[in-house]
Structure 1
Amino acid sequence: MNAGGGRRQLFQKHPEYLEEFDAIAKDHTAGLPQNLSVRWLNLTIPQIRGKLKDHNVDVSDYHVRQIVELRGFKKRSFVKFKTFKDLKDRDAQYRKTERIVSQCLDQGIHVLSIDTKKKEMIGNFRRSSQVLCQGTPRSFDHDFQSYSEGMIVPHGIYDVGVNTVYMPIGVCY
């Protein structure tokens, strides 16, 4: 096959489709004032297609996705990256805590580390872990709280000095 053969791309024939998209996106784009390279649309592909149709541009969802991609948009998720507060010497907090813990332990004072985890529904629900078994474990197809037999609230207390854990599990109905 010769180079350049085949059908011309839709947007080479109709560059006005991109211009129509730009006009629509202008009113439906948001972003971060502190970083102009981060922008997002508040429209879905079918909504964009409907708005293009209102501007006499009748294209498929496939072509709308191509337009969106050509304009630099793609599906992304937020990434946990930023801290709430930037501390000058965060490590100093840990060193201070370690020093206080050592002093308390030297004086025979108990040091407890207390932690709690998220609430979990009690019942036959799918869990993300795996288990070795013969056959397939079965659970409800939905995790509705109305099917729950209550909630557990796991929390732990760790005595640093004697290396002992106490783990009560609270239950609420």
Structure 2
Amino acid sequence: MVKLLEELMEGDTAGDPMGKGKIWTRRSTRTLKKECGDRGVSVCATTVSKLLKDMDYSLRVNRKTIAETRHPDRNRQFEIINETKKYFEDSGQPIISVDSKKKELIGNFRNEGKAWTKIVNEVLAHDFRSQAIGVGCPFGIYELLTNLGTVIVGTSYDTPEFAVESIKIWLDEFGWKRYPCAKELLILCDAGGSNGFRPRLWKYALYQNICKVYGLSIRICHYPSGASKWNPVEHRLFSFISKNWG
């Protein structure tokens, strides 16, 4: 039976390039059950599943781990970011990681998050823009020194002005209370988007609305292209929002 399964799976088997011994297939147990039946072997899908596990196969989903671009100075850029972070940590100056999340329809719509509850919350069967109260644009701010996060939700567009205004709101509401002696601010962000390295308005608005107003010196570190997953706000703030936003 095992030999027959190995034969059927030969052309549809992939393995872990990291050498952890895991292999997987794109064929379903029901398909394999039918093919075994065509070969004169009667077996149920449950038995096929158990045999596959004994053969070190596993049921998996795709994982986004391949970076599309690799700049020759990518590693050096990470080293500079780490050196800058250490300088700010040692001096007790605030460090924030920022990014905007994809727009969300506001209304009785389904999301992938889960929550403990005694009843099932019923939502609309389809996510139509016409049925939404509006569109929310979440902008996340994660503080590395305090392990605290803030989300500002806009109702228009993800623009450099919105990004700067979100940081200004964070400063007024939380920043100055937690860092009353702050003289510098380090901002970690992606290379693209409203807070990317290209938009001049992002830098100009930071200078006009924050630096000049508060006398605060701001340093910005952009992560390399294709490395947005390394931005702390992604896995320290947005990941928990996605898990719980039902």
TM-score by length of 2: 0.42
SS at match of 2:155: strand
* Residues 33 and 44, structure 2, Cα contact 8 Å, conserved in 1: yes
Runs of 4+ in 1 over 2 A off after TM superposition: 30-39, 74-80, 82-92, 94-100, 112-115, 125-131, 135-139, 154-158, 165-168
The yes-or-no answer on 1:19 pairing with 2:7 is no
Match of 1:146 in 2: 128
Q: Report 1:1-173 matches (<5 A).
A: 17-32=1-16, 35=19, 37-77=21-61, 84=67, 87=75, 90-96=78-84, 115-126=99-110, 128=113, 138-140=121-123, 142=125, 144-146=126-128, 148-149=131-132, 150-155=134-139, 167=152, 169-171=154-156
Task: Using the TM superposition, give the Cα deviation of residue 114 of structure 1 relative to its aligned residue in structure 2, in angstroms.
Answer: 5.2
Letter in 2 for 1:118: K
Determine which structure has the larger helix proportion and give its number: 2
Per the TM alignment, residue 89 of structure 1 is displaced from its structure 2 partner at its CA by: 7.5
User: What per-residue deviation string (whole Å, max 9, x for no partner) do you get for residues 5-64 of structure 1?
Assistant: xxxxxxxxxxxx111111101122123556483421110010110111111111111211
CA RMSD of aligned residues (A): 4.4
Give the Cα separation in 2 of the matches to 1:74 and 1:156: 35
- Which consecutive residues of structure 1, in runs of 5 or more, have no partner in the other structure? 1-16, 106-111, 159-164
What is the match of residue 5 of structure 1? none
Alpha-carbon displacement from aligned partner over 1:92-111 (angstroms, at most 9, x marks no partner): 324337869xxxx9xxxxxx
Q: Which structure has more RCO (C-alpha within 8 Å, separation ≥ 6)?
A: 2
Change in 2 beyond 3 A, CA 1:139/1:83: same
Count, aligned residues: 140
- State the identity %: 20
Stretches of structure 2 lacking an aligned partner (at least 5 in a row): 143-149, 158-246
